[in-house]
Chain A
Amino acid sequence: MRVIALIAWREYLDNVRTKAFWLTILIIPLILLGMYFLQSALSRATPVRHFIAIDQSGRYEEAVSIAVEREHQRLILTDFVEYLIENRRETNLEASPANATNAANQLIDDVDANEVAALDEWLDSGGLNFALAMATPYLKENIQPFEQPDPPFVAVEPPAELDLDASPERIIEALRPYLSGEQTIQTESGSVDLFALILIPETVDDGIIRPGDLPAAAGSAAGVQYWARNLTDVRLPDAVQAGINAEIREKEYQQRGVDTQTVRDVQRTRMTLNPLDPTAAAGEEAVSLADTFRQFAPIAFVYLMFVSLTQNVQYLLSNTVEEKSNRIIEVLLASVTSNELMMGKLLGIGLAGLTTIGTWLLSFFVFIVMYDSAQTDLIGEVLEVILGSDLIPWFVFYYFSGYALYSGLFLAVGSLCNTLKEAQAMMTPMIVFQIVPLAMMAFVVMDPNNGLVRALSWFPLFTPYLMMNRAAANPPVVDVVGTTALLLVSIVLMLWLSGKIFRLGVLRTGQPPRVRELWRLLTATA
């Protein structure tokens, strides 16, 4: 035991002293930080876009400006809800229903779903000022006042020399230098880049498509023309299209004698849908946000397991190959038994893996404590839900069993190879085994007790991943007991076998053995 501890400690220190170890430890928190700051920096950095709208038909100018204003209000609304979440007095995830019936979240949902009426409701009820007044009692004291975001799109006047009644082709010709960025547009607040031109020709209504019509041929100039170099920012064309569609539908209603107010009211009528959990106790069937997290938590665990196990077993493999090619192994084997050596290695490198996971979790906490905001609050609560869930014992069990199984396998492979190159070639099929359950991860969460998933769970190399994946969905007892028993048996078998291969393999030189030779080695009494 003393010897195992000694070997484990040396392996641990050896691993911890490598640059690769620190890289792995630091990379995850760094990516996390980077993603967070990049995202918030980017959302603030999106510039105000300037566009020209020319309506030769005279029918849609208002619709376009309303659409643009809506886009602004939408931004205000989203920011405001975020502000609300960040500054409300208490956040109790258990109490906030998953279907977000509270008014603000509903509003965001509606806006995101492009519901025509949603923004109108917001504007009708007094917009931001009213919302602020309503929300104040629920907000913490001494907070920063809400800062209204700038409008994302601003209409500018066309250059004075432009003849607005000229043919669309000539207008485009005249504005091309501005659109291509060669020239800037003069406005009251200085010269700006022209982001887009919305050109509504006289004959725009020819572009209206009704049920039964064939779609317009590609490249046809019928309908509204949207000219812009940047075709990835689709917020403006989407808003304009939605606005004009609302306008023509309104006219259509009138022509067909339908009362538009009735239509609006109908559109704003909705049914609530309550997700309920049949396995929960009476009175607690309502599915909370925390429950949803809990269902998805296995994915986080599976992923954590995969990253950590892959790192560990690869280290184990390269370490064994190195020791073998350095011939250190022979000195060691004169001092310790091959089983002690193997157990020491497994323990030491497993410990290093736990250090990695521990450091990651710690860095999450530090990150959350240091950057207290709406998003990090959420991460913190997710973390709390996960750490407080009954999945932890599962994770610990499957982590260790997965580690024992895979490391036994990789140790045996490592002991048969003389160079890292050889080892990597033999390792590829092993990695594939790990990829299979990983690729199924999202599917398994949605349908955890599916027949195929149940069947695959019985394959010991998949068991830790798949059963972890299914842990939140109360898998049938026979699956839990059966796969666990099979897993434990295979671990014992694997460690025994790899101990044997290890003892025979480490002193071998030359090519890795052929399958037949391997079989002979295993069945030999040596």
Chain B
Amino acid sequence: MTESVLDLDRVVKTYGDFKAIDNISLSIPKGSIYGFLGPNGAGKTTTIRTILEIIKPSSGNITILGSDSALDVRDRIGYLPEEKGLYKTMTAWSVIQYFAMLKGLDRSSAKNRAWAMLEKYGLKDFGNARIESLSKGMGQKVQVLAAVAHEPELVILDEPFSGLDPVNQTVLEELIRDMARNGQTIVFSTHVMQHAERLCDQILLIARGRKVFDGTVAEACATIPRRVLLETAADISSIIQLPGVVSVDRDTESSSERADGDTGLWLIEIEEKVNPQDVLRHCFDHQIALSRFEFSEPSLHDVFMHLVGEQAREHSFR
């Protein structure tokens, strides 16, 4: 079993009657890229703050880099908070230097590191610019660099992609992969599933402070049945007898707009082990004339919508 850098054991954080974190346990292996996913207000930021001991849990244990307290190992952690901000009157390089120094680097190596990172991630020309003169996206990049300049073993990024344009999102993904290759462990939170899908070895999905899912992306996708979409005028009720078919339902939502008169859209859920070709072969064998056959692997987006969609929608209207 791989060494773990962060363990949460039944962590609870309450504010009065409100449970911001409700009994979360997880374990993050060294060198992995780990995603915290969840709708707005799910408790991602609170979980991160609790891990960093900025706030203390009401109950439960946290072991981080082998220590009970994040404060004891804070020099080995890098953190980018959700809401970004830097000293406006400082220059980009001196901000990176300052935070690296707070994390234990000496003055000159902090300075060298600052310039090296600015150059590598395309900000060399802005190194001497004041933070207030940078665009929001550039400022955020500087802040990411400031958070990781001391080459921490554990990097925790809260919503690192928000506010970045597609090009800089790619640059940030590159930075995260670089760090993982370097043996550093990266935890980041996001509600953009594509980033998690592309980057994460493992994800944690939380909603209303509760753990909904914890595992690899593939495992996450396996939690929801794979779906085949059929369009036909024929009767397809026999498909349900095929082994591995979970359900056959009329896709009422889509049919009203897309199917014409006598044809109907059908949604067939199948188990993971089933080959979708079996469904197609069944249709040929039973002379079911298809005007459409679609099969897609479920995406993390589908998983997310399936697992927490209802709660997220509810939350947004609260």
Per-residue CB contact flags for chain B residues 67-96 toward chain A (1 = under 8 Å, else 0) read: 000110010010111011111111000000
Check A326/B71 contact, CB under 8 A, given A6-B102, A507-B49.
no
Residue in chain A with minimal CB distance to B88 = A326
From A14, A17, A335, A507, B102 is in contact (CB under 8 Å) with A335
Q: Which of B23-74 contact A (CB under 8 A)?
A: 49, 52, 54-56, 70-71, 74
Q: How far is the CB of A202 from chain B (nearest CB, A)?
A: 80
Q: When A6-B101, A334-B54 are in contact, do A327 and B74 touch as well, CB less than 8 Å? A: no
A336 / chain B contacts, CB cutoff of 8 Å: 74, 102
Q: Report the Cα distance A334→B83, complex, angstroms.
A: 14
A500 at the interface (CB under 8 A from B): no
CB of B232, distance to nearest CB on chain A (Å)? 55
B74 touching A526 by the CB < 8 A rule? no
Q: Which of A10, A17, A327, A335 contacts B83 (CB 8 A)?
A: A327
**Contact across chains for B74 and A334 when beta carbons are under 8 A apart:** yes
What is the CA–CA distance of A334 and B148 in the complex, to the nearest angstrom? 12
> How far apart are the CA atoms of A328 and B205 in the complex, in Å?
28
Bound state CA distance, A507 and B147, in angstroms?
19
Please measure, in the bound complex, the distance between the C-alpha atom of A6 and the C-alpha atom of B88, giving whole angstroms. 18
B98 in the interface, Cβ–Cβ < 8 Å?
Answer: yes
B206–chain A nearest beta-carbon distance, Å: 20
**B81 lies within 8 A of A330 (CB):** yes
A526–B55 CB distance below 8 A? yes
A347 to chain B, nearest CB (A): 15
Q: B83 near A330 (CB under 8 angstroms)?
A: yes
Whether A477 is near chain B, meaning CB under 8 Å from some CB there, is no
| Chain B proximity mask over A1-31: 1 for CB below 8 Å, otherwise 0 | 0010011001000100100000000000000
Chain A 360-404, CB-CB to B under 8 Å as 1, else 0, gives 000000000000000000000000000000000000000000000
Answer whether residue B189 sits at the interface, using C-beta atoms and an 8 A cutoff: no
* Count of A interface residues, CB-CB < 8 Å: 20
What CA separation (Å) do A330 and B81 show in the bound complex?
A: 7
Q: CB within 8 A of B89: which of A14, A325, A526?
A: A14
- Asked if B89 and A17 make an inter-chain contact with CB atoms under 8 angstroms apart, the answer reads yes
What is the distance, in angstroms, from A514's C-beta to the closest C-beta of chain B? 14
Known contacts A3-B102, A6-B101, A327-B81, A335 near B74 by CB under 8 Å:
yes
B52: chain A residues at CB < 8 Å are: 333-334
Q: Is the CB of B55 within 8 A of A327?
A: no
Residues from chain B with a CB closer than 8 A to the CB of A39 are none
Determine whether the beta carbon of B54 is less than 8 Å from that of A333: yes
Q: Does the CB pair A507–B55 fall under 8 Å?
A: yes
Q: Which of A14, A327, A335, A507 contacts B85, CB < 8 Å? A: A327
- Which of A7, A328, A335, A337: most chain B Cβ within 10 A? A335
Bound CA span A526–B88, Å: 31
A326 touches B103 (CB 8 A): no
A326 touches B56 (CB 8 A): no
- Whole-angstrom distance between the Cβ of A336 and the nearest chain B Cβ: 6
Question: Are B79 and A331 touching (Cβ within 8 A)?
Answer: yes
Query: Among the interface residues A328, A336, A526, which one has the most CB atoms of the partner chain B within 10 A?
Result: A328
A7 to B84, alpha carbons, bound, how many Å?
Answer: 20
> How many residues on chain B are close to A (CB under 8 Å)?
28
> Which residue of the partner chain A has the closest CB to B104?
A2
A337 surroundings in chain B (CB, below 8 A): 71
* With contact pairs A330-B81, A334-B79, A526-B55 given, residues A14 and B74 touching in the complex (Cβ less than 8 Å): no
Interface contact A10-B98, CB-CB below 8 Å: yes
**A330 touching B55, Cβ below 8 Å:** no
Known contacts A3-B102, A507-B49; A331 and B143 CB within 8 A of each other: yes
Distance, CA A3 to CA B88, complexed state (A): 21
Say yes or no for B99: interface residue by CB 8 A criterion: yes
List of B residues within 8 angstroms of A332 by Cβ: 102
Does B85 lie within 8 Å of A526, measured CB to CB?
Answer: no
Contact A334 B77 (CB under 8 A): yes
What distance in Å separates the Cβ of B92 from its nearest Cβ neighbour in chain A? 15
> Which residues from chain B contact A17 at a C-beta distance below 8 Å?
89
Minimum distance in angstroms from A334 CB to a CB of chain B = 4
A3 CA to B75 CA, complexed, in Å: 11
Q: Is A326 touching B54 in the complex (CB atoms < 8 A)?
A: no
B85 A328 Cβ-Cβ under 8 A? yes
Residues of A close to B87: CB separation below 8 A: 14, 326, 328
Nearest CB on A from B65, distance (A)? 14
Give Cα distance in the complex from A331 to B157, angstroms: 11
CA distance A326 to B90 in the complex (A): 13
A515 shortest CB reach to chain B, Å: 17
Which B residues touch A526, using CB under 8 A?
55-56
When distances are taken between beta carbons in the complex, the residues of chain A under 8 Å from B54 are 330, 333-334, 507
Closest chain-A Cβ to B58's Cβ sits at a distance in Å of: 9
- Give the interface centre of A326, A334, A507 by most chain B CB atoms within 10 Å: A334
Residues of A within 8 A of B55 (CB): 507, 526
B99 touches A335 (CB 8 A): yes
Determine whether the beta carbon of A326 is less than 8 Å from that of B98: no
Within 8 A of A (CB), among B98-118: 98-99, 101-103
Which residues of A are interface residues toward B (Cβ below 8 A)? 3, 6-7, 10, 14, 17, 325-328, 330-337, 507, 526
27 pairs of residues in contact across A and B, judged by CB atoms under 8 Å? A3-B102, A6-B98, A14-B87, A14-B89, A14-B90, A17-B89, A325-B85, A326-B85, A326-B86, A326-B88, A327-B84, A330-B54, A330-B81, A331-B79, A331-B81, A331-B99, A331-B146, A332-B102, A334-B74, A334-B77, A334-B81, A335-B79, A336-B74, A336-B102, A337-B71, A507-B55, A526-B56
Interface residues of B (CB under 8 A from A): 49, 52, 54-56, 70-71, 74, 77, 79-81, 83-90, 98-99, 101-103, 143, 146-147
7 further A-B contacts with Cβ under 8 Å, apart from A14-B90, A331-B147, A526-B55, are A6-B102, A10-B98, A330-B49, A331-B79, A331-B85, A334-B52, A334-B70
